[in-house]
Structure 1
Amino acid sequence: MFEQFDINQIRMACFAGIFLVMALLEAGLPRRELKSGRLKRWPTNWGFILLDSLLVRLIFPIGGVGLALLAQERGWGLFGTLGWSGWGAGVITFLLLDLAVWFQHLASHKVPLFWRVHRVHHADSEVDATTALRFHPIEILLSFVWKGLVIVALGGPVEAVLIFEIVLNASAVFGHANVRIPRRLDWLLRLVIVTPDMHRVHHSVICRETDSNYGFYLSVWDRLFGTYIDQPEKGHDEMEIGLGPAMTPKAHSFPFSLAIPFFDNAQRKSGKGRSWNGK
């Protein structure tokens, strides 16, 4: 039903569209005044985006939708065994994939080895649309393996996996965007989905705030598992973003950011005002 080339075109078109819209809104309706501008941060962030895209295409050319097609053809997975298909199976597949991504994000903070590579994402000194795709190649590979295992284990409809992949990319860019949304609208949206103000809390240097709001698309998981924080302690304008003074300023360098997983794995403190570098 789907050709891999067509799938890649659809995903790239959706990503380019949502990124362009968010970038324009960031320029016209910024939520925070950025202390570190685009010219300082974007070359490194785009470096990761290009490197990760190339790596995935070389190592996993089949992609998540390709795995879903394979599982469907072979009758693999829960839904294949049960013979379930249609809208019901699609909705359940979408929800379970979103939960799987939430759990993966939680694990990337709780497991020291995973935190080593995930620190690259949090080392950005600001949060905007490019931060959404600022991930170390090691984390991208681990993420693809995890999602691939879940997709095959479920054996859900291919259409649901395709929609999920598109929504995941779009919601990641939207959730990281430095865009001002009216408070009332933000409150209504975050009853269902993750908004930029909700996710920005997660990038705070304060540990209890970083250990919150793990969701990428649906906000229900953080509410359900008790990891939801409504607003940052210091407010969005005054909150400090990143990993603290020992690491964040250096993360504007692509070589430094690429090497972050191989630095000493700083102890994670749980104090109310402690930063993630233990200072």
Structure 2
Amino acid sequence: MDSTTEMWIRLGVFIGVLAVMMCWEALTPNRKSPVSELARWSTNFGLIFIGSLVVRLLIPAGLAAVALWAQQHNIGLWNQFSVSLWWSIPITVVLFDCLIYWQHRVFHRVPLLWRLHRVHHADPHIDVSTGLRFHPIEIGLSIAIKLVAVVVLGTPIMAILIFEVLLNATAMFSHANIALPKNIEKTLRKVIVTQTMHRIHHSQIVSETDSNFGFNLSIWDRLFGSYTESAKNGDDGIKIGLKEYLTTKSNSNLINLLFMPFKGDTKPYK
């Protein structure tokens, strides 16, 4: 599979999931945004656009090209052994999901990295656009981390495609401003991160913010002791965002968000 095919597959799934989630939110929203939706969306999607440019500038041919290079030079774990793709692909996808879980935790714990990640948490509302709202520098660092993992593992190209598609799709799904029926949500969260589970992570209560770090598989939070089953004030009572970034001015201006990591306290929510 060449990089062009990979790009179109990812773009197609991205647009499809985004459209479905936005329609779902419009039909049955879970909560009302405290600020203008138009202002939030223009800012959030502006960040998404800039982040996409950063990815293309850092790795023009994509992670698949790096994986192909590692394969051609016999670099990485999987390239050292004759392992069936039926094993190496699913194992790699799960390992990458665990990697992103720990990346997320580290970005909460290291003050300089939190400066970047708080752009995501400063959103006073949570919907599908929040799932893609990250500072361009954080996106660049995330790409660098995944690049190292691709080389170390000798990652199969198909595993990269599957993981990247899943990561984007589940990030949009888990942040969507919807509420699944309770019985379905309770069953589904045993496997993947649901909206009710992830909204807790966007709470203004510190102990809740520092929990439920998963994006796709929910097992990591249970396995590594960061799981919170329910919010202290219930799902409807969760106050979203960071207290010092709740105004329209601080959250609905693209320039302000781009410079947010370089202003204010290092760890303001502590």
TM over 0.5: yes
For residues 40-55 of structure 1, what are the structure 2 equivalents within 5 Å?
40-55=39-54
Offset at residue 210 of structure 1 (A):
0.4
Contact 2:173 2:195 (8 Å CA) reproduced: yes
Letter in 2 for 1:255: I
For residues 162-241 of structure 1, what are the structure 2 equivalents within 5 Å?
162-241=161-240
Letter in 2 for 1:102: Y
CA distance in 1, matches of 2:236, 2:105: 26
Q: What residue in structure 1 maps to residue 67 of structure 2?
A: 68
Offset at residue 76 of structure 1 (A):
1.0
Q: What residue in structure 2 maps to residue 255 of structure 1?
A: 255
Offset at residue 238 of structure 1 (A):
2.2
- Give aligned-pair identity as a percent: 44
Offset at residue 69 of structure 1 (A):
1.8
CA distance in 1, matches of 2:144, 2:28: 37
Letter in 1 for 2:119: V
Offset at residue 217 of structure 1 (A):
0.4
Q: What stretches of structure 2 of length at least 5 have no aligned partner?
A: none
Offset at residue 90 of structure 1 (A):
1.1
TM norm structure 2: 0.96
Q: Deviations over 1:21-43 (max 9, x none)?
A: 00000011111222224113111
Offset at residue 224 of structure 1 (A):
0.3
Corresponding position: 1:124 with 2:128: no
Contact 1:85 1:156 (8 Å CA) reproduced: no
CA distance in 1, matches of 2:141, 2:87: 29
CA distance in 1, matches of 2:213, 2:149: 19
Offset at residue 264 of structure 1 (A):
2.7
Offset at residue 85 of structure 1 (A):
3.2
Output the aligned Cα RMSD. 1.2
Contact 1:112 1:265 (8 Å CA) reproduced: no
Letter in 1 for 2:101: W
Q: What residue in structure 2 maps to residue 272 of structure 1?
A: none
Q: Find runs of 4+ consecutive structure 1 residues off by over 6 angstroms.
A: none
Letter in 2 for 1:39: L
SS of corresponding position for 1:178: coil
Q: Deviations over 1:140-172 (max 9, x none)?
A: 000000011111111132111111111111000
Q: What stretches of structure 1 of length at least 5 have no aligned partner?
A: 269-275
Report how many aligned residue pairs link the two structures: 268
Q: What residue in structure 2 maps to residue 86 of structure 1?
A: 85
Letter in 2 for 1:10: I
